[in-house]
Structure 1
Amino acid sequence: MIRMYGFWRSAASFRVRVALNLKGLAFEEEMIDIDAGVQHTPDYLALNPAAAVPSIRIDDGPPLTQSLAILEYLEETHPTPPLLPADARGRSRVRALSLIWAADHHPLITPRIRRYLADEMGQDEAARTAWIRHWFREGLAVGEARLAGDAATGLFCHGDTLTFADLCLVSQAAGARGFKVDFSDLPTVSRIVENCLALDEFARAHPLRQPGAPAQH
């Protein structure tokens, strides 16, 4: 049994949710309300001392943390369908693309950063929102520069087969849209995001379809 501890708005939870769906793995998800500070409770800190989501437990084993490490674990233990290319150069490219969004830019817009900007730096809501939009936009623009015109780019980030890179890109794009970041002028990124969101595995994992998400009208 796979039990995931996530949050509806979490980009990292989104990408792991998609991977579980693509690999056909049944899971239960417990929502850790980041806004309410549940990640800082003793019970959750015992599971993940970093006070971050997602965390995963499989058959009551030790918890797995960090979304990219979880993706690697799922790839090694459930290799079908593969989410990494068969060749070493292709795997390196996919991992590099994934890190653009999951490591270079996503950490800059997490709740702990926003709280620090407010509590320690005295930044008001308008300044914090401008910060978030800047880093979302930059991450997607870097992705566009990396993907556009590259022969290795296809229907998705790497050829015509889904990889980790698509999961990381789409999770960042969803967050960007949540903050009303316009990236319609990034054609390659926009096309890949729409190709992914048309798939049921992405649609079911989307933040706005999770328990606790605001109702859509």
Structure 2
Amino acid sequence: MLVLHDYFRSSAGYRVRIALNLKGVAYVRQEVPLLENAQRGPAHLLRNPQGLVPALEAEGHVFTQSLAILDWLDARYPDPRLIPAEPIARADALARAMVIGMDVHPINNLRVMRYLEQQLEAAADARSAWTAHWMAEGFSALEALARNLRHDGPFLGGAAPDISDCFLVPQLFNARRFAVPLDAYPLLLRAEAAALALPPVAAAHPDRVAPGA
């Protein structure tokens, strides 16, 4: 049995839940309460020395970093594929995912926001402006990439979601939490709506897995 250590509102954990659900892979969730700093506790640091979530225990190994986890899942459970096999399509899908996974999410996550508040003494409105700026920059680029896609499907991946959809859905969830305007990104919203209409994706939503839900 796979064990996923994550936090219900973690974007990176949400991505992995979507992928696991789309592939129909059974797993058990273990909540790591980030607001209580459980990710910095000794037990979790043994799983992931970075003190981050998610961490996936599977087949005697602990996998960390959501992109690496999704890549392993695609190799181990290839149906349905989330990372295309064809080289150009693969590179394009990974590039879309990395707009969020490398350039947007890391500078808006909890540890960065805490540093801005506690070390740099940035006020709440300044932190909100920081979040909105970097999300808007990433979403604008991703919307432009979506306009260049050569398919008619509703997802960023075409007729079916791919790895970039797995990254997109959690980031739009975060954007709404921080009241980031989204009207300028109709193609991203279309992809999100198509993904959330799928029961496996809907089941991964933070509201569905939150403690006490």
TM-score (norm 2): 0.95
Whole-angstrom distance in 2 between the partners of 1:151 and 1:158: 10
- Quickly say closer, same or farther: Cα 1:174–1:95, change in 2 above 3 A: same
- SS of the residue aligned with 1:205? coil
Aligned position for 1:33? 33
Cα displacement (A) at 1:138: 1.8
8 Å contact kept, 1:147–1:153: no
Distance apart, 1:62 and its partner CA: 2.3
- 8 Å CA contact 1:137–1:176 kept in 2: the answer is no
**What are the equivalent positions in structure 2 for 1:176-215 lying under 5 Å apart?**
176-212=175-211
Partner of 2:159: 160
Give the letter aligned to residue 109 of structure 1: N
8 Å CA contact retained: 2:4, 2:54 = yes
Q: Using structure 1 for the length normalisation, give the TM-score.
A: 0.94
Paired with 2:43 and 2:148, the residues of 1 have a C-alpha distance of 48
2:35 match: secondary structure: coil
In the alignment, structure 2 segments of 5+ residues that lack a partner are none
Q: Deviations over 1:11-63 (max 9, x none)?
A: 1000100100011111111110101100111111111110100001014x121
Aligned-pair CA distance for 1:120: 1.4
RMSD value, Cα = 1.4
In the alignment, does 2:21 pair up with 1:21? yes
**Aligned mates of 1:147, 1:81 — CA distance in 2:** 21
Q: Is the 8 A contact 1:95 1:165 kept in 2?
A: yes
**1:64-98 deviations in whole A, cap 9, x for unaligned?**
00000000000001101111223111111101111
Change (3 A) 1:95 1:149: closer
Contact 1:57–1:64, Cα closer than 8 Å, also in 2: yes
Q: Say if 2:71 and 2:83, in contact at 8 Å, map to a contact too.
A: no
* Seq. identity, %: 36
Query: Structure 1 residue 85 and structure 2 residue 80: aligned?
Result: no
Match of 2:131, SS? helix
Unaligned runs of at least 5 residues, structure 1: none
